[in-house]
Amino acid sequence: MAEAGETASAPFEGPEKLLEIWFAPSASAVPDANSPENGRTGLRKVPSAAWEEMLAIVKCQVLSVVSGAEMDAYLLSESSLFVSPHRIILKTCGTTLNLLGLPRILEIATNHANMPSVYQCFYSRKSFMFPERQLGPHRDWQQEVQFLDNIFRNGAAYNVGKVNGDHWLLYMTTPSDDSGATRSLSYSVSPPLIENAFPDYTIEILMSDLSPAARQPFFSTFSSPETPSSHALSLSRCIGITDIFPPHLTTLDAYSFSPCGYSSNALIRWGEDPFFSSSSNIADGAFAVEGYYTIHVTPEEGWSYASFECNVPLHPTRSSSAPDMNAIPDLKTLVQRVVSIFQPGRLSLTLFISSEDNESDETGESPVEAAQRAFRAALCAPVVEEQTHPETNGVNEKSLDENSPSYSSTTGKKEVRRRYRRTDKINYEFGAYDLAFASFESYDHK
């Protein structure tokens, strides 16, 4: 997307900086959990003006907001902000100063929500395309780490993947019972306590070198009465974004930038899906059943990029061979749907999953290994499908090769499926969380 004052011809840094701060282990653990105001507790009671003041420090602004039962999703001029009672997620791209907003976030949590200490903090990003364009602590990973170390007494930094290729950088605070730690400031982190029947779960799909056909729809030409939001919603339906998750469970907020670019946030009522709603914890209202996904697209040739992030706890694969468009997809199906929209030449995937509930299944396979298997099945398997569409007059398209356009009999929308080779696979154990990281490259990528 183009920042204010930039044109489509100027290099734009698509890969985002992702800051996630937990002030309590769950919404039920915030100080005012039993005394909501208009159904809101914790950080959701913070006035929007306070968030806007913080975002001004970061150098971005609010475009629109959608609210669900359990969180608020702010669409920003540079990516997204998600606010839950106990947690805030700030995702910004370009040359925004994401980390400079952190001290103000801590003040807001203290002054407006009576939450003066941090439960857990994560900061991550993909390697930048144009690191020389970054400002402040974002000029260099070591500067970012030092900035965070000056605030948190028990952080750890990791470089996941090839240093001279696509890699992913992570800083996370780790549990510590050492109240006499030498690092200063009053923000300390309690040991993680995962209370939910389902694990804390975040999947990111970070895509580069999008195909020309996939990039073209994101160069916006629209005029009154069409608005950036109405154009983006129409575009979302046309290219299949609205079909990534069941529309009846999704509230989508989208924006088309001029001259190019696209952003969307979606709130997903995944607890209403029959696959999840049978859980006694959901029936008892024991934990959150609303999640999100967010998509951001920078379509310019030379630095094209698209990101997808989601925190719905997906099963790696389901037994049914045909995906149900009215059901929450499994991980394999989700990856296929997202990648078929953007057709990247290169992509990396990360799955971050809490490990207290992250035990091996009856086959002895851990959740991160199951995720790695789902990634590979989604991207590396030969594309051989029985697909029919009205426009093909019933012609069987099974003979199409993996890079040919095809039509999905389930969605009725045109799909292009590429076949990929895996170039990197790494699993990490961080104590409270496990990570699956993988990189892929298409066979026709040059």
Q: What is the β-pairing status of strands 201-210 and 344-354?
A: antiparallel
Whole-angstrom distance, CA of residue 226 vs CA of residue 213: 23
Give the helix ranges, DSSP H, for 114-156: 141-149
Whole-angstrom distance, CA of residue 406 vs CA of residue 388: 9
- As to burial, measured by CB atoms within 10 angstroms (0-12 exposed, 13-18 middle, 19+ buried), residue 184 is exposed
Backbone angles phi, psi at 236, to 5 degrees: -60, -40
DSSP 38: T
**Is the bond into 192 cis (omega within 30 degrees of 0)?**
no
Q: Is the sign of the CA dihedral 306, 309, 314, 316 positive or negative?
A: positive
CA atoms within 13 A on the CB side of 189: 22
Q: Which amino acid is at 343?
A: Q
Looking at the annotation, which residues are catalytic?
13, 16, 79, 93, 263, 296
Locate 99 and state its tokens: 């980390």
